[in-house]
A and B are shown apart, each in its own frame.
Chain A
C-alpha cells in the first residue's frame, strides 16, 4: 500500500480529487433526484433540519477517518458515545457535580477508553477489530450497569444548547463540527503527525524503518477517535435532553459507511476529511430524502446497506487499480 496524501506535487485531477469530485457529483445527482420527487426537499425548513442533524455522525467520522487512514478500525465508537451521555448524567444527577464539569469528566472517561484501545493494540498487539469489538461490548455493558438500563433526563438549557442551539443563524453543533473538520484537515495535511499517519497506514513496517514511532501515533489516533465519539454522544444527549444506554446503537456502521464512502480506504494509507464530510452529507441526505418520500423504513435499510456495499466495492476497485498502476511502473 502507498500513502497518498503527503505528496507535494500532484495534479489536482488525481487520486483524492477525483474521488471527491465524483462524490460531489453523486451528491448533486441525489439532491436533484429528491428535489424532483418531493417538493419539501429543497426547503429552508428541511435544510435547517439537515444542518441540525449532521454533527453526530460527522464528528464521530473524523476520528474514524484517522483510524482507518492508520490502517486500523474502531468498532467501539457507538458504545463510547452511549457511555459519554450516561456518564454525564451520572456525574450531574447522582454526584451533583456542575453539568459543565460532568460533561468534561464524561469526555475524559471516553478518552481513557480510547487510550485503553490504543494500549491493547500497540502493547499487547491484539488486532484492532478484535480489541475494539471487545471494548464495544464492555463499554455498552458498562453503560447499562451505570444507568441501570434507565433513560435519564438532562434538562438544562446550557447543555441542550450544544445539540439544539444556534449561533449566527447556524446550529451550534454544525459550527462545532465544521471547526473540528478544519482543524483535523489541517493536522492531516500539514503536520508531521498527519503525514506519518498516512505512512503508517500505507506500511507500518516501512514507517517504523523510516523512524516513525508507530505505537505512539496509533495510541494518539485511538485516543482521539474515542474522544470524538464521546463528543458525538454528548451531542446526542443534548439534542434529546436525555441520556440512554441504548443510544448510538449502530453508529459505528453508519460512521464506517460514511468514511469509506468518502474515499478513505479500509486498507489504510488513503483518505481525506473533505471526502468524509461529503460522505456524511450524502448518507444524511439519503436518509432524509427517503423519509420525505415516505419510503418504507425496510427499504431505507436496504438503501443504506447498498451504499455501504457500493462504497466498499469502489474501495476495492481503487485498490486494484492502484496495485495495477504500481505493477506497471
Chain B
C-alpha cells in the first residue's frame, strides 16, 4: 500500500513537472542573464553592477553577462542585440533613453526574452527601482520638520537644484521633495520664494547658480535647498560658504553616497541628510524577480526599492563600515 502511494506520488510529481515544463518554456536549471549598466562612471551604477554580480554568485545557478550602455540609447540597443546573439535567458536593462525603450523591447520580445528595466521604465518590461516621488517626499518632510523645530516653522526662500533636461523621473523626485516640505512646514512658501535652478547634475554648476542667486535674496536669512543628489547638495553648501552665508542655509538631497555621508557627519554640517537608494541591495531583489519571471511565477509590474532618509543620527545603522571613523569612536 505504502509503495503504491509513493509510486503514485512520484508519477503525479513527474506529470506535474512535465506540464510545468510545457507551460513555462523559459524555466531551466541554470540561467544566463544579461545586465547592461547605465554607465560605469558613476558610483551608484557601479554599486548596482556589483550587487547583481554578488547576488548571482549567491544564487549559484545564474551566469551574468555584463555590458555598459554608456548613457546612450543606441548603445543600449546594440547591447540588446549582443545579448540575444549570446543566447541570454533574460535581460536587465539600466538605460537612460526612453525613446529607445520601444525598439529594445520589440527586439527582446521577438527573441522571446523577458526584460526588467531599472529606474527608467520601458514598455512591457518589469520595472525595478527608485520610488522617486516618495523618496523625494521623505527628504522634503525631514526638511519641513527641521524648519518647524529650528526656524519657528518658516523659511524665507527655497532653492530647488533640479535637472530639467532629464525628464519626468528626476522631476518626480524634486516634486516629491517640494510637496513633502510644503505639506510639513508650518508656513508654506509662496511661488515667489521658490527659486528653480538648473544644477546640470554637477557640483560646479550648483556652486555657480547658487552663488549667482544668493545676491538676489540679500534679506533671506533662513534658506532651504532641495537638491537632486549629493553632488549638487555639496555645491550648494560650498556656494553658501563662499558667500559667507553658510549658517543661513539647510540642505537636503538624494542618494546618501559616500561624499554626502561625509558632509552629513561634519560638525555644524548644513547637510541635514539625503534619501538613501541602497544600490548595493538592488541585486538581491532584481535577480529573484527575474528568476520568478523566467519560471513563470507571477511578478508585480513594478517593484520599488525601499527608501530611508539618512541623517547623522541613523547613518551608522546603514553605513557603519563606510563611516567607520564616525560610527566607531
CB within 8 Å of B: which residues of A?
38, 40, 43, 45-46, 48-49, 52-53, 144, 148-153, 155, 163-164, 236, 239-242, 244-249, 287-288, 291-292, 294, 296-298, 300
Chain B residues within 8 Å of A151, by CB: 203, 230-231, 234, 257-259
Minimum CB–CB distance from B325 to chain A (whole Å) comes to 13
Chain A residues within 8 Å of B195, by CB: 294
Cα A239 to Cα B242 with chains together (Å)? 8
Beyond A149-B41, A149-B46, A242-B203, is A45–B235 a contact (Cβ under 8 Å)?
no
Chain A residues within 8 Å of B207, by CB: 239-240
B208 adjacent to chain A (CB < 8 Å)? yes
Residue from A53, A236, A292 having most chain B Cβ neighbours under 10 A: A53
Chain A residues within 8 Å of B209, by CB: 291, 297
Residue from B212, B258, B259 having most chain A Cβ neighbours under 10 A: B212
Cα A54 to Cα B197 with chains together (Å)? 20
B179 adjacent to chain A (CB < 8 Å)? no
Beyond A150-B259, A242-B259, A297-B198, is A40–B211 a contact (Cβ under 8 Å)?
no
Chain B residues within 8 Å of A155, by CB: 266
Residue from B203, B215, B231 having most chain A Cβ neighbours under 10 A: B215
B280 adjacent to chain A (CB < 8 Å)? no
CB-based contact B203/A152 at 8 Å: no
CB-based contact B216/A292 at 8 Å: yes
Minimum CB–CB distance from B170 to chain A (whole Å) comes to 14
Give A164's nearest chain B residue, CB to CB: B242
Could you say which of A40, A150, A163, A242 contacts B43, with CB atoms under 8 Å apart?
A150
CB-based contact B242/A52 at 8 Å: yes
Interface of B is mostly: helix
B204 adjacent to chain A (CB < 8 Å)? yes
Could you pull out 13 A-B pairs where Cβ atoms are within 8 angstroms?
Answer: A43-B215, A46-B212, A49-B243, A151-B258, A164-B242, A236-B204, A240-B203, A240-B234, A242-B203, A244-B202, A287-B212, A292-B212, A292-B215
CB-based contact B202/A246 at 8 Å: yes
B62 adjacent to chain A (CB < 8 Å)? no
B298 adjacent to chain A (CB < 8 Å)? no
CB-based contact A53/B46 at 8 Å: no
Chain A residues within 8 Å of B212, by CB: 46, 49, 287-288, 291-292
B252 adjacent to chain A (CB < 8 Å)? no
Could you say which of B41, B164, B213 contacts A298, with CB atoms under 8 Å apart?
B164
Cα A300 to Cα B212 with chains together (Å)? 13
Chain A residues within 8 Å of B242, by CB: 52, 163-164, 239
CB-based contact A247/B42 at 8 Å: no
Which residues 191-224 in B have Cβ within 8 Å of A in the complex?
195, 197-198, 200, 202-204, 207-209, 211-216, 218
CB-based contact A297/B231 at 8 Å: no
Give B208's nearest chain A residue, CB to CB: A53
Give B216's nearest chain A residue, CB to CB: A40
Give A47's nearest chain B residue, CB to CB: B215
CB-based contact B41/A144 at 8 Å: yes
Chain B residues within 8 Å of A247, by CB: 202-204
Could you say which of A43, A52, A249, A291 contacts B218, with CB atoms under 8 Å apart?
A43
B241 adjacent to chain A (CB < 8 Å)? yes
CB-based contact A149/B203 at 8 Å: no
Beyond A49-B215, A144-B41, A240-B203, is A153–B231 a contact (Cβ under 8 Å)?
no
Could you say which of B197, B214, B263 contacts A153, with CB atoms under 8 Å apart?
B263
Residue from B43, B200, B202, B216 having most chain A Cβ neighbours under 10 A: B216
**Known contacts A239-B238, A242-B238, then 6 further A-B pairs from the complex at CB < 8 Å, ordered by chain A residue:** A40-B215, A48-B243, A49-B214, A163-B242, A240-B238, A291-B197
Cα A297 to Cα B198 with chains together (Å)? 6
Cα A110 to Cα B234 with chains together (Å)? 26
Cα A314 to Cα B46 with chains together (Å)? 46
